[in-house]
């Protein structure tokens, strides 16, 4: 008879994958570290496989473990949904919500209101570029995302939150800023420009606009984070690009200018995997955004 893996073993396995170490997995499940180790060891010995390579600072998945997690990673969603049904509680006096966000400013306003309404829910928010945030959603590294340009995917539930356009960030002492009118990309050919990496939605939009305008603008400086771009403009290192609501800072030394070739309106969405709407914490966020 083919050996079977128990639910307890799968739960321990998923916790190690999600936490990255046996110790953290034990803390998450309220068990001892030896108990978690024993569950993983039992799987490996029973099936004659290796799931984790032990490292100095945690545990690294083998390729087999990655395949197994692809099939079992929804266990925690099922657990949460079952708890909701059994507790029959909609007050959200307790719980946890992990949100990945593209930009701090739009996200913090929504999270602040969520915390005001549901102070008992522990909210964790992390930030990244478009690629990192969407990957986190699809790989279930978070419960929901707040992001400009969420894919129109039937597996997702989306709620429109705000609309914004891309703008040029110009040092306020620059002639273009003093002029105070929309700027064309053609005017920037001889200016020091600050770009983001290609995984940034802002940079992708800029690249498309340059291609459409038959321009090949080269950056004087390439930076990974939008806050770094803002700071570089503040230090008069060049002209940067950003969605107009991405950062709430309003320094007198930085001017936001509309861009003639980038007049497209981008929608900031709140989104989750549709199956995660079963979780009350996620459902409350989506309803609040809508």
What's the rounded Cα separation, in Å, for the pair 241 and 256? Answer: 9
| pLDDT tens-place string over residues 149-163 | 899 999 999 999 888
Q: Sketch the domain layout of the chain as residue ranges.
A: 7-73, 76-161+267-289, 166-264
Question: Which CATH superfamily is 76-161+267-289 part of?
Answer: Periplasmic binding protein-like II (3.40.190.10)
Give the residue among 282, 279, 284 at the shortest CA–CA distance from 87.
Answer: 279
Q: Say whether domain 7-73 belongs to CATH 3.30.499.10.
A: no
- Gyration radius of the chain's alpha carbons: 23
Q: What's the average model confidence in pLDDT over 20-25?
A: 90
Question: What percentage of the chain's residues is helix, strand, coil (to nearest 5)?
Answer: 45, 20, 35
pLDDT at 86: 58
Burial label for 230, CB within 10 Å (0-12, 13-18, 19+), is buried
What tokens were used for 91?
Answer: 């007050």
Task: Take residue 157 and report the two structure tokens written for it.
Answer: 């539930």
pLDDT in tens, 31-75: 999 999 999 999 999 998 999 988 777 788 899 999 998 888 877
Window from 84-93, 131-140, 215-224 with minimum mean pLDDT: 84-93
In this prediction, residues 202-211 reach a mean pLDDT of: 91
pLDDT over 70 percentage in the chain: 96
Domain 166-264 has CATH 2.60.40.3080: no
The predicted-structure confidence for 161-178, as pLDDT tens digits, reads as follows: 888 889 999 999 999 999
* Residue 64 near residue 49, CB atoms below 8 Å: yes
State the pLDDT at residue 84.
65
- The confidence score (pLDDT) of residue 281 equals 92
Residue with more model confidence, 71 or 239: 239
| pLDDT for position 219 | 92
What phi, psi does 165 have (nearest 5°)? Answer: -120, 165
Q: What is the pLDDT of residue 246?
A: 79
- Please work out, in degrees rounded to the nearest 5, the angle formed at the alpha carbon of residue 117 by the alpha carbons of 112 and 122: 70
Mean pLDDT of 238-267: 88
Whether the model pTM is above 0.85:
no
Q: Please give the Cα distance from 133 to 147 (Å, whole number).
A: 8
193 near 219, Cβ under 8 Å? yes
Domains 7-73 and 166-264 share a fold: no
Instruction: State the CB neighbour count (10 A cutoff) for residue 257.
Output: 19
Distance CA 158, CA 176 (A): 38
Which stretches does DSSP call E strand in the chain? 52-55, 58-61, 96-101, 122-127, 144-148, 156-164, 166-171, 194-195, 221-222, 240-243, 254-258, 266-273
191 compared with 107, residue with greater pLDDT: 191
Give the residue-averaged pLDDT of 142-151. Answer: 92
Distance CA 210, CA 219 (A): 13
């Amino acid at each position: 008879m083919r050996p079977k893996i128990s639910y307890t073993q799968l739960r321990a396995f998923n916790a190690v994958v999600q936490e990255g170490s046996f110790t953290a997995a034990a803390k998450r499940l309220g068990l001892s570290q030896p108990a978690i180790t024993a569950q993983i060891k039992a799987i490996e010995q029973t099936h004659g496989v290796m799931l984790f390579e032990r490292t100095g600072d945690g545990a690294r998945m083998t390729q087999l473990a990655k395949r197994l997690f692809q099939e079992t990673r929804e266990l925690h969603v099922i657990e949460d949904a079952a708890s909701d049904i059994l507790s029959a509680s909609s007050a959200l006096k307790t719980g946890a919500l992990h949100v990945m966000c593209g930009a701090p400013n739009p996200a913090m306003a929504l999270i602040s209101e969520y915390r005001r309404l549901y102070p008992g829910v522990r909210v964790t928010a992390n930030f990244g570029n478009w690629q990192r945030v969407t990957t986190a959603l699809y790989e279930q590294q978070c419960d929901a995302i707040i992001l400009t340009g969420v894919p129109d995917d039937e597996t997702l539930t989306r709620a429109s939150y705000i609309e914004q356009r891309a703008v040029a960030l110009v040092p306020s002492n620059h002639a273009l800023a003093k002029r105070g009118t929309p700027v064309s990309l053609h005017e920037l050919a001889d200016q020091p420009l600050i770009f983001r990496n290609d995984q940034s939605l802002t940079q992708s939009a800029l690249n498309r606009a340059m291609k459409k305008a038959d321009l090949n603008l080269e950056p004087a400086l390439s930076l990974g984070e939008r806050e770094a771009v803002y700071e570089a403009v503040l230090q008069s290192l060049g002209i940067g690009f950003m969605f107009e609501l991405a950062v709430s800072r309003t320094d007198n030394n930085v001017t936001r200018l509309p861009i003639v070739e980038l007049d497209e309106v981008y929608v900031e969405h709140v989104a989750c995997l549709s199956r995660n709407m079963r979780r009350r914490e996620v459902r409350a966020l989506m309803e609040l955004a809508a």
